[in-house]
């Protein structure tokens, strides 16, 4: 089975996305989510996800993330685009560095994300880094494992991650 570096945005997307993915790949889990606001929320999501997966954990570059989006913060499409580019670029770079031939992201399973944008970004990065982007669309399965999330006590967050997506 081939290896894949899977950018994991949270425990519940990780759980849902891997149910089928693990039939085809040997998965290495990668945590790079500098978008998450606040530090306490970041820790909560990571600690929850770590109960199910063993991660390669990258830096919590929250300042870098904020500087990248600060001029487009209130444009949802542009902000999410930069957020995806930042996280997926790091994943592709890391896959290249570790000599893992495939990369992908659990963001693809979420019906709340901008799916086509993610797909386009992944495909561009595939060309740029010469690492295969594994595209999948299992948004229909997002709610299928709800009972298991509860059974395993996985944290179900209330917002995407950044301060701009946080309910006030």
Tokens at residue 137, please?
Answer: 């669309």
In the block, residue with structure tokens 């690492």: 131
Three-state secondary structure call for residue 104: strand
> Which listed residue (4, 17, 83, 154) binds ligand SF4 by CB under 6 A?
83
Least gap, CB of 164 to ligand SF4 (angstroms): 6
Residues 96-125 that bind ligand SF4 (CB under 6 A): none
Cα 2 to Cα 143: distance, rounded to the nearest angstrom: 28
Least gap, CB of 113 to ligand SF4 (angstroms): 6
Q: Which is nearer to ligand SF4, 26 or 75 (CB)?
A: 75
> Which listed residue (5, 10, 49, 160) binds ligand SF4 by CB under 6 A?
160
Q: x/- string (CB under 6 A) for ligand SF4, residues 61-80?
A: ------------------xx
Cα 115 to Cα 124: distance, rounded to the nearest angstrom: 14
> Is 132:99 a contact under the CB 8 Å cutoff?
no
Q: Which is nearer to ligand SF4, 49 or 100 (CB)?
A: 49
Cα 130 to Cα 32: distance, rounded to the nearest angstrom: 20
Q: Is 12 in the site for ligand SF4 (CB under 6 A)?
A: no
Q: Which of 16, 15, 11, 51 is nearest to 33 (CA)?
A: 11
Least gap, CB of 80 to ligand SF4 (angstroms): 3
Least gap, CB of 66 to ligand SF4 (angstroms): 11
């Amino acid at each position: 089975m081939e290896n894949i570096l899977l950018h994991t945005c949270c425990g519940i997307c990780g759980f849902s996305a891997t149910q089928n993915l693990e039939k085809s790949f040997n998965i290495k889990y990668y945590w790079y989510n500098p978008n998450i606001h606040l530090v306490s929320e970041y820790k909560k999501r990571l600690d929850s996800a770590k109960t199910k997966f063993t991660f390669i954990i990258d830096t919590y570059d929250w300042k870098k993330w904020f500087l990248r989006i600060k001029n487009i913060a209130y444009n949802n499409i542009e902000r999410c685009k930069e957020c995806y580019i930042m996280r997926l670029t790091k994943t592709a770079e890391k896959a290249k560095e570790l000599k893992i031939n495939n990369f992908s992201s659990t963001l693809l399973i979420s019906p709340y994300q901008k799916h086509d944008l993610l797909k386009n970004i992944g495909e561009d990065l595939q060309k740029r880094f010469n690492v295969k982007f594994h595209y999948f669309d299992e948004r229909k399965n997002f709610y299928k494992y709800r009972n298991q999330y509860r059974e395993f006590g996985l944290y179900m967050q209330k917002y995407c991650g950044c301060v701009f997506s946080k309910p006030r």
